[in-house]
Amino acid sequence: MRAASMKQTLGKATLLALCILLIGFDGRAMAEPAASPKAAAVFTADMQQALDEAERALLAVQPFPDEAAVGFFKNGRSLPSGYKKQIADRILEQRGKFATVSELTRTALAYSAAGGNMNNIAGIDLYPFLMNHAGIDTEGAAMVAAAYMTSNNSVSNSMERTNRYPDLLYYQLLDMQLADGSWPGAGQSQGDPAVTARVLTALTPAGGSEQAVQPVRQALQWLKDKQQQDGGYDGKTSTTAQVIIGLSSMGVDAAEISKEGGASLLEHLMAAKQPGGGFAQMPGGDRDTSATVNAYLALTSYKLLSRQASPLYSGLHHAGAEQATIQVEGPGGTFAGGRIPGGDAVRAAAAFLQSKGLAYKLNADAVKPAFTAIEGIQNGRYSGRGEWKIAVYWGGSWRYPENNPSRMTIGDGGQLLVYYAADTELPEQMEVKWKDKNGQEMGGYANADTPVTLRITKSNGQLGGLPASGITVTLRGTSKVADSTGTVSFGGMKPGVYPVEVTKYRKDAAPAIAKRTFALHVASPELASFKDADKVAAWARYDIASALSSGYLQGVSASGDVLAPKQKLTRAEFLTLLLRLMHEFPDARAVSVFKDVPAGKWYSGTVAKAVDLGIVSPASGKFEPDRGITREEAAVMVAKAAPLSTYGSPERMSLADVTGLPEASRRAIQAVYEHEVMTGSGGRFAPKQVLVREQAAAILVRLQQLIPATFY
């Protein structure tokens, strides 16, 4: 996960003021600030024409240059059709493991510019791959700068340990600066104008720190001293363009940087413009793709400066579609629950209530909008006490509107609670303790047939981790009241995943604690204890063992010691396993809409819950619960349950036996294939093959890595 940015930072306005003070129009360092404000950069019609022509030239290049994607995004231009999927294909093919930092950062920034989220490409987060890449120490300052820019456009929730973090890259860049103020190329001992400009570009979006003032001043002066009389650097348009990008990002007008009597940077750049569009590496030369890309980015960066907009390499992160859950708790019970998109919490809740046909009132004109009534229950219901509130559960704790300066938002994997409250507290976490056969106290998933102790903590908006004393804890139909430490004990249970319901309702008052359901995992015996353990395929042994230890899978015999790994699964059985993984607990009293799922069957509530969650559709009128589930049907259920999106092109799958399937099935198979939940073998997916238990175990374990464990 990304470390927090430095506390002491300089804003863009401060850096701009610094640059104005340090760089005089005649190239000499200014001792005093200018007497009058600096005029804004002017982006001329000729520059706009050159930008448009370069854009058309780049669209004709095959393949499209990745570096140009950022410029297209900043200019609000459409990228070539299918470009985003092509980038996703590349990332999926590499599974995030690129040979060089150069390739990784170029791909990540291009994917972001195309509208993708570099932190989630079918479950792949490029941030930890970047921060653990050995090339950061070997590919030179330009690539450290690229890594720093990329990290500042990344919002990673990965729990994977990284060897570096953005602030470390920042200090690494400062340490790599030469005594004359420049930065060298990889393996070089002398300063390089393009690399120096690249580092300045990287330092700008984060604002830098107080330690950056002197390094930035030295670098700017070095670049000014190295400028040639014709306005350029190294006789290359690409280098000149990089310097323009760096200066523009730092708020310096490149049109006013020149040697005495010489051309400016922008004049040198425009002199390399080709009549038919694009740029040459030097005036009079032929059109060059690298020169055109860099000139296009330089003009874009200068245009952003003229409009006082954010720098070129900032604001590239796209969160993508986020999924969260919602629970609406009235004063006497649950009104509704389900899924919502991420975003503004109150708006998402209002849309959910409307979708469920639940009436509500909302003071939408308030700075922080809040519900005033839901389903006729208004604020002040109990002698003027009680009101509708919201809270967001994320990262193991509750977040409350009163503790947030801005409006509440809900992110991917979070849970939004809408509840009626009057000094009502919220259940926070459940700690599970049990003793092994040697009497040693253990934590985590309990062993089968072993008594468990559950300790519930709560939050009240000011404090968290408080013991939830006096609450009612219900497990498998048995209810107990927690003691002063928030603890209750229950007898041993068979393997499985069980709902633990926490409540504390009050008569003629809002609840003392909001209702919440935790999941209790009771592990099955280890794989070696089953009589038919040797029948498990070698590829499935790890997945089977993991599914057993999580309680997802149990034995099938009366004694529980037969695993039957090759036994076929019915549609109802697979759906049961899927909901167990998702911690979605069905109501046994629920009535299914399917004609062939009568009330009272062991799977009736499961099917009804799946319909409510949108995992299965009632359109056909029949569910066929006892029929063997095909791999195609399993893929569709999994893709809807997670839910899983597609990222790359369908052609990347190269599966010979999916072309004739319905579009919804092909899309679901692509989603599970890209996420590596179900991949098939030998170029075939076998969509009509009936799923067996060991295959189901593999699906569950792989899917578990992709589903946020909000309520574990």
Kindly report the three-state secondary structure assignment for every residue of 34-51.
CCCCCCCCCCCHHHHHHH
pLDDT tens track for 294-305: 999 999 999 999
Tell how strand 360-362 and strand 371-374 pair up. Answer: antiparallel
Average pLDDT (454-461) is 96
Q: Which CATH class is domain 321-422?
A: mainly beta
What residue type is 97 in one-letter code? K
| Per-residue pLDDT band at 39 (split at 50, 70, 90) | low
Average pLDDT (227-252) is 95
pLDDT at 648 over 90: yes
CB-based contacts of 263, cutoff 8 Å, min separation 6: 229, 230, 231, 232, 271
Q: Please give the sequence-ordered ranges of beta strands (E in DSSP) within 436-495, or none if there are none.
A: 441-443, 446-447, 452-459, 466-467, 472-475, 478-481, 487-490
Which pLDDT does position 710 carry in this prediction?
38
DSSP, collapsed to helix, strand or coil, labels residue 521 as: strand
- Percent share of the chain, pLDDT over 70: 93
Which pLDDT does position 5 carry in this prediction?
38
Query: Residue 42 corresponds to which tokens in the numbers above?
Result: 């002017």
pLDDT tens track for 612-625: 999 999 988 999 99
708 or 460: which carries more pLDDT confidence?
460
Of 460, 84, 501, whose CA–CA distance to 327 is shortest?
501
342 or 74: which carries more pLDDT confidence?
74
Average pLDDT (454-460) is 97
pLDDT tens track for 15-33: 444 444 444 433 333 333 3
CATH topology (fold) of 427-523: Immunoglobulin-like (2.60.40)
pTM of the predicted protein model: 0.88
3-state secondary structure labels for all residues of 369-412: CCEEEECCEECCCECCECEEEEEEEECCEEECHHHCCCCCEECC
What residue type is 567 in one-letter code? Q
For residue 197, what are the CA distances in angstroms to 20, 248, 252? 17, 10, 12
Over the chain, what is the mean pLDDT? 91
Polymer length of the chain: 712
Q: Find the largest Cα–Cα distance for the chain.
A: 95
Task: Give me the residue spans of the domains in the chain.
Answer: 12-306, 321-422, 427-523, 527-704
pLDDT at 12 over 50: no
pLDDT at 87 over 90: yes
pLDDT at 680 over 70: yes
Q: Quick check: do 321-422 and 427-523 share a fold?
A: no
For residue 400, what are the CA distances in angstroms to 159, 346, 425? 24, 12, 11
Domain 12-306 sits in CATH 1.10.8.50: no
User: Is the distance from CB of 40 to CB of 306 less than 8 angstroms?
Assistant: yes
Tell how strand 478-481 and strand 496-506 pair up. Answer: unpaired
